[in-house]
Amino acid sequence: MSRLRRWFASSLAFHAFPVLLVMATTVVVLVGCGTPTTNSTATPAPQAPAVVNGPPGAALYTKSCARCHGSSGQGKGSTPKLDTVRLASLGDQPLRMAIAYGKGEMPGFGGLSDAQVTELISYLKGL
Ligand code: HEC
- pLDDT tens-digit map of 36-56: 555 555 666 666 555 556 889
Shared domain for 65 and 102, answered yes or no, is yes
Shared domain for 37 and 69, answered yes or no, is no
CA of 98 relative to ligand 1 center, distance in Å? 7
The CA–CA distances, whole Å, from 120 to 15, 68, 70, 97 equal: 78, 15, 14, 13
The tally of domains found in the chain comes to 2
Q: How many of the other CB atoms lie within 10 Å of CB of 8? A: 11
Q: Cα–Cα distance between 108 and 113 in angstroms, integer?
A: 13
Mean pLDDT score across all residues of the chain: 81
Residue at 51 is within a domain: no
Question: Which ligand 1 atom is at minimum distance from the Cα of 104?
Answer: 18
Domain hosting residue 29, numbered range: 2-42
Residue at 84 is within a domain: yes
Q: Cα–Cα distance between 3 and 10 in angstroms, integer?
A: 11
Q: What CATH number is attached to the domain comprising 73? A: 1.10.760.10
Q: Which pLDDT score is estimated for 6?
A: 76
Residue at 52 is within a domain: no
Q: Measured from the CB, is residue 127 less than 6 Å from ligand 1?
A: no
Query: Where are the strands (E) in 4-115, listed by range?
Result: none
Q: Cα–Cα distance between 114 and 100 in angstroms, integer?
A: 9
Q: Measured from the CB, is residue 106 less than 6 Å from ligand 1?
A: yes
